[in-house]
């Protein structure tokens, strides 16, 4: 379980928060990413978004191996920029069967093929929260990259948002961050 805690304290300074689609969440100045209990940081929290890392649903063996071969790890010292993008998909998406979702996600929208172009510059971790009680999103997506890859990341999100997959996104917040290291990183 991973908690993203927005408030007056955190290792990441929030540079921009943009409601791309649907209801916004309160604007805060800092974010902390915590595994397990949020403990001592709780009093400074304005909101907490929780998600779990999980098994892959869509990637084929071949895609999975390619991702593993190319991806970078989180916490790289030069990757001082990050994005937290919570996403909720529509009822229409969840009513599709798995093979229909895979066809939209990859065969037609090329999510993995596009994403692979940005590895290892962008390191990523996907968190699921649709099954967690009280959570407002289906996914919390987290990305880390160096300042020189800010423009590339911008191009990546623009490409993904123009896909058929994204027509099923009914809520999305784009939160951009810079690491300042006030608290321990992870």
Q: Which two tokens stand for residue 139?
A: 């996914």
Which structure tokens are listed for 142? 């987290």
Assess 58 for contact with ligand HEM (CB under 6 A): yes
Least distance between ligand HEM and beta carbon 87 (Å): 4
Strand partners, 128: 52, 139
186/83 Cα distance (integer angstroms)? 16
Verify binding: residue 141, ligand HEM, rule CB under 6 A: yes
Q: How far is the CB of 183 from ligand HEM (least distance, A)?
A: 25
Binding of residue 86 to ligand HEM (CB under 6 A): no
Instruction: Indicate which single residue of 25, 146, 160, 183 sits in contact with ligand HEM (rule: CB under 6 A).
Output: 160
Q: Are the C-beta atoms of residues 168 and 12 closer than 8 Å to each other?
A: no
Stretch that binds ligand HEM, among 5-13, 23-31, 137-145, 175-183 (CB under 6 A): 137-145
H or E segment and range at residue 137: none
Q: Is 126 in the site for ligand HEM (CB under 6 A)?
A: yes
87 binds ligand HEM (CB under 6 A): yes
In the chain, DSSP assigns E strands to: 2-7, 12-21, 30-35, 45-51, 81-89, 123-128, 139-145, 169-179
Positions touching ligand HEM (CB under 6 A) are 56-59, 67, 85, 87, 89, 111-112, 115-116, 118-119, 122, 124, 126, 139, 141, 143, 156-157, 160
């Amino acid at each position: 379980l991973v908690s993203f805690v927005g408030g007056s304290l955190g290792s990441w300074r929030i540079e921009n928060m943009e409601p791309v689609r649907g209801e916004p969440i309160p604007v805060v100045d800092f974010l902390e990413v915590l595994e397990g209990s949020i403990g001592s940081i709780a009093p400074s929290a304005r909101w907490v978004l929780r998600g779990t890392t999980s098994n892959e649903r869509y990637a084929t063996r071949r895609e999975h191996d390619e991702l593993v071969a190319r991806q970078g790890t989180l916490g790289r010292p030069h990757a001082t920029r990050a994005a937290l993008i919570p996403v909720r998909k529509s009822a229409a998406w969840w009513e599709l069967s798995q093979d229909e979702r895979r066809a939209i996600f990859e065969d037609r929208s090329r999510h993995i093929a596009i994403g692979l172009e940005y590895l290892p510059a962008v390191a990523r971790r996907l968190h699921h929260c649709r099954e967690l009680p009280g959570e407002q999103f289906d996914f919390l997506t987290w990305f880390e990259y160096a300042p020189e890859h800010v423009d590339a990341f911008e191009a990546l999100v623009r490409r993904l948002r123009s896909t058929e997959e994204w027509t099923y996104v009914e809520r999305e917040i784009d939160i951009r961050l810079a690491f300042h290291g006030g608290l321990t990183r992870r």
